């Protein structure tokens, strides 16, 4: 969202984002690398380098980003078929309920793009200075 509030050509350094959001820059750099590999952002190395969005805000679907950024959605052990050692898996109904909830969660996110989230771009920009 931060990058979406900036001019398309403007490069932003990770430290600026880390400071504003109060998160460790090292953690942010790992996220930036992943987002860059996926094509969501573009990075430019060097003294005057930084990052910017790699595609249009209208083309960045929030549900897709969440799926791309998560290794898995094994919120409970039984979601992992290969490593499931839960003794009640055969009779437990929680897995079905949690699966339905996860599908609903992702379904809602699928309805939105980054463009939808930054319709108030000027207001966000003012808060992210």
pLDDT of residue 76: 77
Average pLDDT of the chain to the nearest whole number? 92
CATH number belonging to the domain at 1-60+115-129, selected among 1.10.10.10, 3.20.20.150, 3.40.50.2300, 3.40.50.720: 1.10.10.10
Taking residue 96's Cβ as centre, other Cβ atoms within 10 Å add up to: 9
Backbone angles phi, psi at 84, to 5 degrees: -85, 115
- Domains of the chain, by residue range, sit at 1-60+115-129, 61-112
- Binned at pLDDT 50, 70 and 90, residue 9 comes out as confident
Cα separation, 12 vs 16, in Å, equals: 7
pTM of the predicted model as reported, rounded to 2 decimal places: 0.85
Question: pLDDT by residue (tens digit) across 77-119?
Answer: 778 778 788 888 888 898 889 989 999 999 999 999 999 999 9
Q: Which of 27, 6, 7, 4 is nearest to 15 (CA)?
A: 27
pLDDT of residue 8: 85
């Amino acid at each position: 969202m931060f990058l979406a509030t900036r001019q398309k050509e403007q490069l932003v350094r990770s430290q600026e984002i880390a400071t504003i959001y109060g998160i460790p820059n090292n953690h942010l750099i790992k996220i930036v690398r992943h987002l860059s590999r996926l094509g969501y952002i573009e990075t430019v190395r060097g003294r005057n380098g930084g990052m910017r969005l790699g595609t249009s805000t209208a083309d960045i679907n929030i549900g897709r980003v969440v799926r791309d950024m998560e290794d898995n959605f094994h919120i409970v052990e039984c979601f992992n078929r290969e490593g499931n050692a839960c003794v009640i898996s055969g009779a437990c109904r929680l897995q079905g309920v949690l699966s339905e909830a996860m599908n609903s969660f992702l379904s809602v996110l699928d309805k939105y793009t980054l463009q939808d989230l930054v319709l108030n771009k000027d207001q966000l920009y003012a808060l992210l200075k």
